[in-house]
Every structure is written in structure tokens, then in C-alpha cells.
Structure 1
Amino acid sequence: MSWTDLARNGRILIVDDAMENIQVLHQALQSEHETLFAMSGEKAIEIARAQKPDLILLDAMMPGMDGYAVCTALRASDATRDIPVIFVTVLNATEDETRALEAGAADFITKPVNAAVVRARVRTHLTIKRQSDILRALTMTDSLTGVANRRCLDETIDSEWRRCARMGEPIALILADIDHFKLYNDEYGHQAGDACLQAVASAMRRAAARPQDLVARYGGEEFAILLPMLDVRGAEVVANKLLAEIELLAIPHARSSTAPSVTLSLGVAALRPADGAHLDSLLKTADALLYQAKSLGRNRCCLPL
């Protein structure tokens, strides 16, 4: 089985302060899964945030940060809270298992481990996680355009705002509106309107192509592009690229008073959360600039002075 196939089957992070225990679990899983390992709680959290494993096998008793503290920290972080954790430990009392489950563990295996049991438990929890991921993706995706929905945007903008605040980085937001879209639907019909929305969403994904960028349908013919770690000048580049992408689409719009094809109006804002700014200010500024773009004739982006 190739390394790519192993990763596709699930990436497992093994956490134990004893290398011999890591080797036992690695031997049990290496034929089916990609395995990573950490020998301390602090390193486990670092790897979990960077590598995003699909499952963590965690020892309870470790010097310094023990397994319970690690599990609690993983659950407290937006980046790692959805990774299932299986405790693998010599502890076997009911209160130990209860404590692990209360810390957020999905399962509890006692040492010495049985390789067949470990493989079975791992497969079970990976299956549950994949099903959960699929359901979550469905609830976070706009069914028509395939981009994120308003719920996903609300959750992501909050977490990215806090992340940029911690890092001292700016965050930018573009609010976009398809010009004269009601007239487009009246002229060409709702089926053509749906196709137009899909084409515009695809153009947005081409314009905002970094892994951390998020394109979301804000409502109706309105979209938002979230750009973490970009200032207003960087966001302006994305906005201008988007306007160019829309022009290339050349979707006819006979009833538009702006242009013979579909166009967008954009409001572009950026703030640095670490400067004491509030998330509401980012949203209000982008919205006000979108309104300004419309009032100035549409088919343009407006930025803060």
C-alpha cells in the first residue's frame, strides 16, 4: 500500500512517553494507516495543530502534561476539537475511564494492547469521524453553488479573527453583490439565474485561491470572501482579480444598465484585530463600502480612504 493510500485510510497520531509503546502501536497500524508520534503532551498538541491527524491514540500517564490535560487542551481549540481521541493506558479503574471520557475522549483501551482490538477500534472511530465530517460539510455548504454558507462564514470569521488577533496579523473581507440580479432572473429565468450564481461562485474561488481563503454565499445574490492575514492592499488585488474573472465570463445581461454582461459591486475592508478593533467594524465597513460601490455606478470595488 502506497504512502498516499495510507494517508487516505487515516493519519494516526500516537502519543506516549515510552518509545516501546509507540512501536507496538505503530506495528499494529502501519499496514493500513499513516502514523505520526509524539513523546510529550506539548509536542502532541503542536503536531495535532500542524498535521491535523484523523485520530489520536493518547497515553494517560506522562511526565509534565498528562493525557487528561492534553485531551482537555485539544477540545478547547477550534483547530483540534473534532479529532477523536482514544486513551491507551495501563490504568484500568472505572474512575480512570470516566475521567478520560469526561475530558473528551472517544474511547479507552487498556495496556497491554491487543493489536486486533486496536485496529478494530481505530477503524470504528475513523468511520464515525468520516461520517461526521460529511454531515458537517453538508451543513456548512451552500447546496447550489458549492461554496460555504452563511453559517460556515459566521463560524469561520469568528475563529479567524481570534487567530489573527493572536498572531498580530490583519484580516480582510470582501462583500460582493451581483448587479441587477433580479432583472437578470426576470429576463432569463431562475434556472439561468442559478447557473449565473454558480459561475460567479467559481470565479470567486479562482480569485481567492489560498488555502485559508473562504468564499461564502452571504444570501441571495450576495457573497463574501474572507481573507485572513491580508491587509487592504492585498484584498484589493483579490478584488480586482475577481472583477477581471467576472468580465471574462461575459455572461450576457440585456437588462443591466451598467454593462451588457453580468458585473459585481464589491466592498473591501481590512482590520488588524490586535489593534483593539472589533469584528463588527470589519463587517460594517465592508457593507458600507459595498453600498458606496453601488451608488457610484456598480461594476467596481470600493476601499477605505
Structure 2
Amino acid sequence: MNLDPYILVVDDQMAIIEALGELLGEQHDVRFALSAQQALQQIERQTPDLILLDIMMPDMDGYELCRILKSRPQTTEIPVIFITALATPAQETRGLDAGAVDYIVKPFNPAIVRARVRNHLALKHAKDQLRILAQTDSLTGLANRRYLFERLQQEFERAGALPEIAAFGIVLLDIDYFKRFNDSQGHLAGDFCLQRVTAAVKAELRHPNDLMARYGGEEFCCLLAETSPEKARQIAERICACVAELAIPHPKAPVRHIVTISAGVAHWHPECVSVEALLQIADQALYAAKAAGRNQAYFGV
């Protein structure tokens, strides 16, 4: 697996592509596209760490391509550097206004290109790390509640546009009698319990776009991407079973004296009005699972 930073060069002149490939290829994974449409197709397959973009191209100019990239959530954070023969201040300003982070005029100085590429890759790496920290629960390593709601909203909108493909499920999970566990075993044991439960549940999520997030203290939420209602129910039941199989001792649990979880399941359907309404359905199902004796999954309607 290539771990070098991936740089996409978008230019309709092979001489420029070859020059930049030779200049940057030793330390970077340099790929190229000869048009804006080719670039969009490549970006769809794999997101670059940095784009070097010409302005004058036959099908769509670099300004328009940059605006498209900056308008999409999945590509807006990719740094774009224009490398172009257009050298007036007005053209440079237009490029920066379109969303580029830098502007290099052809013929370019190799040392300047290397330095600016290095600096912008380092800045992107730092921003990515800060973003990960802002989206992550420090104890469990899961996504936090804020990031969960961002993803749920994205999936909600995607399902509305592509209902045959992108329908999704959510599972709200709550560790049964967790306050009793903390009170009797201590908070360090409680933290370890949360981590073990987290690992067991995550292992049951198989789709690459599934997400597990910490919803509250001992509550979690799983986003199940591109799944059917029946599949969502099966996953929730499997999650409950896998946590019980850990057999974490819980002397204050009234029945089996081990840690268990209860689950409430909801599934997107075209009549859903909001993410919040879907979560309410899952929450009501979770309440029903608890009322029915816990250690089980209920499907909400």
C-alpha cells in the first residue's frame, strides 16, 4: 500500500505533467488527468491530498473545476494550487477567490514548487489531525455526537435522492444497569467496560460506511449504511448477543450478572421528515426493549 501523499496534476499539456511528475514523483504518489472531467472521475475513485491545477483546459477551465470541488463536502478540504501561465494580479485573485490555496506562474521554479507543495501538505495534515480530534470521543476512540449528526444528515439527504440504494438504519444502544456497574466496580472499571463493549460492537459493523458513535455516557448509536430493515434488525440482535458473550461480570445486574445492552432500531423510509424524527423512533424502540426485560433489540415503527 502506497502511503506517500497523493498529488493529482490536472493539465492538458503532457510536458507539464511529465515535468511535475519528475519533480515530485520521488516523494509523492503523482497521478495526472488531462481534463477536468478526467480529474473528477479520478477524485471520485480516490481523494487526493493535493491538486495541482491548470486554468486553461478544453472542456472546463480550472476556475470552474475548483469551484465544483469547493462546493462538495467530500472534496472541499482538498488544497488546490493553480499552476498556470495566466500571470496578472486579477487572474491570481480570481483563482484564490475560487478556493485555491496558492498560485504558481509558469514557467515555474522547481524549488518554489517543491517548497509550496511541502508546506501545503504539512498544513493539510495538521488540519486533518485537528478535525479527527474534533470528531472523536477521547475515551472510546469512536466518533462523537457532533460528527454523528453530520453523518446522519448526509445519509438522510443521500437516501432521499437515491432511495433504492442509500436507505439506511440506525441502532441506539444502551448498556443495561451501567450506573450500578460504575457504583459497584468503580469508574476505571466502567471505562474499561465501555472500551470492551465498543470493540465488540464495532466488530459487528461490516459495511465500509457504517459508523459507531458515542451518543451519551453509556449510550451509543450505530449508523448502518445501505441496509434493509430486516438486515438492520439482524445486526442489532447480533450486537446484543456479542456483548453478552463477553461475559463481563456485573454482580449488580438483576438477572444474568453480566454486562448486557439493549437496542432500539429505526430504518429510513420516504416518509421520514428529519434525522431527529428517526432518532426518536429508535429511542422509543430502545425504551420498549428495556421495558421488556433488556438484553434485546426492538424495531421501531
**TM-score normalised per structure 2:** 0.95
- Structure 1: runs of 5+ lacking an equivalent: none
Within 5 A, what are the aligned runs for 1:55-204? Answer: 55-168=50-163, 169-204=166-201
Using the TM superposition, give the Cα deviation of residue 9 of structure 1 relative to its aligned residue in structure 2, in angstroms: 2.6
2:172 and 2:150 map into 1 onto residues whose CA distance is: 17
Q: 1:276 to 1:248 in 2, by over 3 A?
A: closer
Tell me what 1:262 maps to. 259
2:284 and 2:42 map into 1 onto residues whose CA distance is: 41
Residue identity over aligned pairs, in percent, reads: 45
The aligned amino acid for 1:137 is I
2:264 and 2:279 map into 1 onto residues whose CA distance is: 10
Tell me what 1:232 maps to. 229
The aligned amino acid for 1:296 is A
Query: Deviations 1:208-265 (Å, cap 9, x if unpaired)?
Result: 1332111100011000001121121121222122122202211111111242100001
State how many pairs are aligned.
299
Does the residue aligned with 1:281 lie in a helix, a strand or coil? helix
Tell me what 2:25 maps to. 30
Q: 1:208 to 1:29 in 2, by over 3 A?
A: same
2:160 and 2:85 map into 1 onto residues whose CA distance is: 41
The aligned amino acid for 2:187 is H
2:57 and 2:159 map into 1 onto residues whose CA distance is: 32
8 A contact 2:262–2:294 mirrored in 1: yes
Structure 1 residue 296 and structure 2 residue 285: aligned? Answer: no
Does the residue aligned with 1:176 lie in a helix, a strand or coil? strand
Tell me what 1:241 maps to. 238
2:167 and 2:100 map into 1 onto residues whose CA distance is: 35
2:54 and 2:272 map into 1 onto residues whose CA distance is: 40
The aligned amino acid for 1:114 is N
Using the TM superposition, give the Cα deviation of residue 46 of structure 1 relative to its aligned residue in structure 2, in angstroms: 2.5
Question: How well do the aligned residues superpose, as a CA RMSD in angstroms?
Answer: 1.5
The aligned amino acid for 1:65 is M
Tell me what 1:283 maps to. 279
Structure 1 residue 220 and structure 2 residue 222: aligned? Answer: no
- Structure 2: runs of 5+ lacking an equivalent: none
Does the residue aligned with 2:174 lie in a helix, a strand or coil? strand
**TM-score normalised per structure 1:** 0.94
Using the TM superposition, give the Cα deviation of residue 276 of structure 1 relative to its aligned residue in structure 2, in angstroms: 6.3
